[in-house]
Structures are given as structure tokens and as C-alpha cells.
Amino acid sequence: MRKSLLGRLWPNATALVLFLVFVFPVYWMFNTALKPNGDILSETPVWFPTSPTFEHFKTAVNAENFWTLVRNSVTVTVVAVVSSLLIALFASFALARMRFKGRKSMILVFMVAQMAPWEVMVIAIYMVVRDADMLNSLLPLTLFYTVMVLPLTVLTLRNYVAAVPKDLEESAMVDGCTRTQAFIKVIFPLLAPGLMATSLFGFITAWNEFPMVLILNKDAEAQTLPLWLSKFQTAFGDDWGATMAAASLFAIPILLLFLYLQRKAVSGLASGAVKG
């Protein structure tokens, strides 16, 4: 009896400890962002923001160019994700619905491209962009991010397209739709959840991208939020409250998006992920 109580207790206790370990850094970010400076620079850590303040968020938001950078990040990310979804839609349709010579090699191309070591290619990318005289511009960033998220978008979307029953499309065509109409009226609405889930990872990749903007856009007004955030602490002389507020502002959109979409995305990815 006693043993079984212990047997039930230890998994729960371990889970609780692990939960705290995984959540703590995120919690500490918000906690620090909300505490007044006196509580941050204290010899004994203040574990809860008992006297919350939005001072640090004000410092972060009022930092030079903050809103320009927000606009840059949002533009680059949204345009890249939407363009790659559009391009991928055509490709994934071909891969999911048609049989043709070279289909497998095409899939292989996207699998290899998916693992492209962008981090290691920044020197060449710098030269290419410099020769095109496009340093400090958002256009090259957007184009590279589009291609960066494209392979995963194609590969993921192809499974969503394949999951839409073919009969639906065929009966729409029997009812007099053209193939294009059938696609727009029947398949597209069914694909919407797949498109959302697919865009999540593209969004995260583009929103987070750091090495490329680090080398391409030195101009303070042409940067994006990750670069700004990585320099924030130095720029603000160890103002940890403001740094954590800046980190929170940067993380919140992703955390919300992830919480909103993860059930769908993760379960979709996972359900196919494993099956021997």
C-alpha cells in the first residue's frame, strides 16, 4: 500500500520539479521585467513582482528606432511567410496529387534545402547582396527568409493537401467546376488549418533569424528585433529590467501564436512523425 502511494507520488513530484525547471527562465524574464530596479538589484532575489511597474517596458518601447524595428520585423516576417505559402501551395499540390517522373528527386531537393546551413553561408550571402548593392535593405532579407522557410512549407503542406479527400475535388469537377475552381472552392477552405499550422514554423524561423541580419544590415534603421535585442543589454549598460522587458516584448507574439496553434501543429506533426 505504502509502496504504491510512493509509486504514484514520484512521477508527479518529478513532473512538478521539471515543470518549474522549464518554466523558470520564462517566468524570470517576465518577473524581472515587472519589478522595480530596487528589487532587481537586490542581494536577495525578489521572487515575485510584488510592486509591479511598467517602467522597464516604457524604457524598451521608447528606445531609439523601436517602432521602426517592429515594423521591419513584422514586414519581413509576414511577407516572407505569405510568399512562401503561395509558392509552396503550387509545389505541394503537384507533389501530393500527381505522379510524374522525378517526383522523388523533387522531394529530396526540398529535404536537403530544408537543412541548408544558412548560418554558415552568411559570408557568401553578404557578397551576393553587396554586389547587388542591397545592403541595409529589407528586400534581400525578405527574399532569403522566404526561401529559408519554403522547403518546410512545401513538405508540410503536401501532407495537408494529400489529406484532403480526392473525391471531394472530383465531385466538384463533376458538378461543373474547373480544376482551378475546385481547388479554390473545395480544397482551399479545407486546407486553411493546415496553412495556419504550417505558417507557425515559418513565422518563428523568420521572426528569430539572427545571423543574416547581423551581417547584412548594419544600419540601425534597417535592422530587425533579434539584432536589436542582442545588443540591448550592452546599449543600456546592464539595465536588466529594460533588457528583460525588451525580451518579453520580442517573445510575447511568438508565445501567444505558439499557444494558439501548437495543439494543431504539434499533434499534426507528431501524429505522422512516428510510425515505424
Q: Restricting to residues 38-77, which ones interact with another protein according to CB under 8 A?
A: 40-45
Question: Can residue 98 be called a binding residue for another protein (CB under 8 A)?
Answer: yes
- How many other CB atoms are there within 10 angstroms of residue 149's CB atom? 27
Question: Can residue 5 be called a binding residue for another protein (CB under 8 A)?
Answer: no
Q: Which of 14, 62, 171, 181 binds another protein (CB under 8 A)?
A: 14
Question: Can residue 213 be called a binding residue for another protein (CB under 8 A)?
Answer: no
Q: Which of 124, 133, 176, 180 binds another protein (CB under 8 A)?
A: 124
154-150-255 Cα angle (round to 5): 100
Q: Which of 78, 122, 173, 190 binds another protein (CB under 8 A)?
A: 122
Least distance (Å) between residue 151 CB and another protein: 7
Question: Can residue 176 be called a binding residue for another protein (CB under 8 A)?
Answer: no
Q: Answer whether 85's CB lies under 8 Å from 156's CB.
A: no
Cell numbers at residue 20, please?
518549474
Cell numbers at residue 34, please?
515587472
The whole-angstrom separation of Cα 53 and Cα 35 is 6
Choice between 35 and 222, CB closer to another protein: 35
- How many other CB atoms are there within 10 angstroms of residue 98's CB atom? 8
Instruction: Spell out a b/e string for 51-68, using b for 16 or more CB atoms within 10 Å of the CB, else e.
Output: eeeebbbebbeebeebee
Q: Which of 70, 87, 196, 220 binds another protein (CB under 8 A)?
A: 87
Question: Can residue 273 be called a binding residue for another protein (CB under 8 A)?
Answer: yes
- Residues 84, 85, 91, 95: what is their CA dihedral angle, to the nearest 10 degrees? 130
User: What angle, rounded to 10 degrees, do the helices at 138-163 and 188-208 form?
Assistant: 140
Q: Which of 72, 77, 156, 223 binds another protein (CB under 8 A)?
A: 156
- Residues binding another protein: what is the number (CB under 8 A)? 115
Least distance (Å) between residue 37 CB and another protein: 11
**Start-to-end C-alpha separation, the chain:** 39
Question: Can residue 111 be called a binding residue for another protein (CB under 8 A)?
Answer: yes
Contact region with another protein (CB under 8 A), list: 48-56, 58-66, 102-110, 182-190: 102-110
Least distance (Å) between residue 149 CB and another protein: 9
Least distance (Å) between residue 180 CB and another protein: 12
Question: Can residue 218 be called a binding residue for another protein (CB under 8 A)?
Answer: no
Question: Can residue 177 be called a binding residue for another protein (CB under 8 A)?
Answer: no
93: burial class by Cβ within 10 Å (0-12, 13-18, 19+)?
A: middle
Least distance (Å) between residue 42 CB and another protein: 7
Residue in this structure with the C-alpha cell 552568411, named with its chain if needed: 122
